[in-house]
Amino acid sequence: MERLSKTIKAAGKTIGFVPTMGFLHEGHMSLVRAARQENDVCVVSIFVNPTQFGPSEDFDSYPRDFQKDKKMLAEEKVDVVFCPTVKEMYPNVTLSQTPPDIIPPKNLTACLCGAFRPTHFQGVAQVVDIFFHRVKPDRAYFGQKDFQQTVIIKWLARKAHLNIDIRVLPTIRESDGLAMSSRNVYLKPKERKRVIILFQALQLAKELYENGERNPQRIERKISNLISQNFLTSRNQEMKLQYAEIRDAETLQSIHEIKHPAVVAVAAIIGKTRLIDNIVLG
Ligand code: AMP
C-alpha cells in the first residue's frame, strides 16, 4: 500500500481515502462516491479494528461479508480495496504502546460515547493514524453519524501535521429516519420498530431549537423524557438510554446556551445493539 501510494503521488495524482470496518451500506457508499468524484484515485479500507473494541464488546460477532463488500466497491469502480490483517496492522504494537502524541485529549474522549467506551477513541486514533501513514491520502472521508469520531480525527490530522483534508458527510438514513449502521442487522423486528424514537427525539430537539429554545438543558430534558417514556412502555425489550446531550460541535464541551453550532447526540442500547445518532443545530 505504501509503495502504491508513493507511486500515485509521484505521478501527481490525488488520493481520496474511506476507512471502514466493512459490511457496507449506503452510508459507506456515499463516502465512496464523494472520494471517487473529488480525487484521481479512491482507496477504501476494510478492517475490523480490535483495538477500538472493549473487552465485553462485539469484536468477534461484528458482521462481516467481504465478498459482498468487494462486489459493491467494484460496482462503484473503487481503485484500491485495502484489507490488511490484524498482524499486518499491528506487527509489534498494542493499544497500550500507542505513541503519546497520538493519544487524543481527555476533553474529547471522556465524554459522550467515551464515557461508556473508555478506550474506544484511543483505538480509533491509533488505527486511523496508521492508515493515514500507509495510504497518504489528500482527502479522507468520514460520516457525521460518528460525530465524536470526526472531531477526534480532525484533532489527529492537525496534531500530526498530516495535511489531510478531513471531509465529513451527512448521515444517510433509512426511509423512516433510522441512521444506517452495520450493527442494525442485530435488531430484532420489534426492536427495529422501536428504535425510531432516537430519530424522533433529534427531530424534537430541532423543532424546539427552531422555535427559539436556546437552553440546552431544557432540550436535553425533553428529549431524554421522550426516549425514556417510550422505552418504559416497551415490554420484554431491554432498552436503555445511555445519553442525550447537547455540546459545542467543535470542542465537545458542555454549554449553557446554544450560540455556536451545537451537536445533539444520543446513544442507547436496545437488546444486544448499541445505537448512536446526532444532529447539529445552528
Ligand atoms: P464503520 O464501518 O461503521 O466504521 O464506518 C465507516 C465510515 O462510514 C465512518 O466514517 C462512519 O461514520 C461512516 N458511516 C457509517 N454509517 C453512516 C451513515 N449512516 N451515513 C454516513 N456515513 C456513515
Which positions ≥6 away from 165 have C-beta within 8 Å? 138, 139, 140
Ligand 1 geometric centre to CA of 184 (Å): 12
The string of pLDDT tens digits covering residues 73-82 is 999 999 999 9
Domain with CATH 3.40.50.620 in the chain: 2-169
Residue 120 annotated in active site: no
For residues 93 and 237, give the distance between their C-alpha atoms in angstroms, rounded to a whole number: 40
Domain with CATH 3.30.1300.10 in the chain: 182-281
Supply the pTM of this predicted model: 0.96
The domain defined by 2-169 carries CATH number 1.10.3720.10? no
Which residue of the set 28, 133, 161, 260 is catalytic? 28
Give the residues of the chain that fall short of pLDDT 70: 93-97, 233-237
Which positions ≥6 away from 158 have C-beta within 8 Å? none
Which atom in ligand 1 lies closest to the alpha carbon of residue 146?
12
pLDDT at 95: 64
Chain position carrying cell 504502546 = 97
The amino acid at residue 161 is: H
- CATH number assigned to the domain covering 182-281: 3.30.1300.10
pLDDT at 161: 86
What's the Cα-to-Cα distance from 242 to each of 61, 99, 247, 265, 268, rounded to whole Å? Answer: 22, 31, 15, 10, 5
Residues with CB under 6 A from ligand 1: 20-21, 27-28, 30-31, 142-143, 145-146, 171-172, 179-182
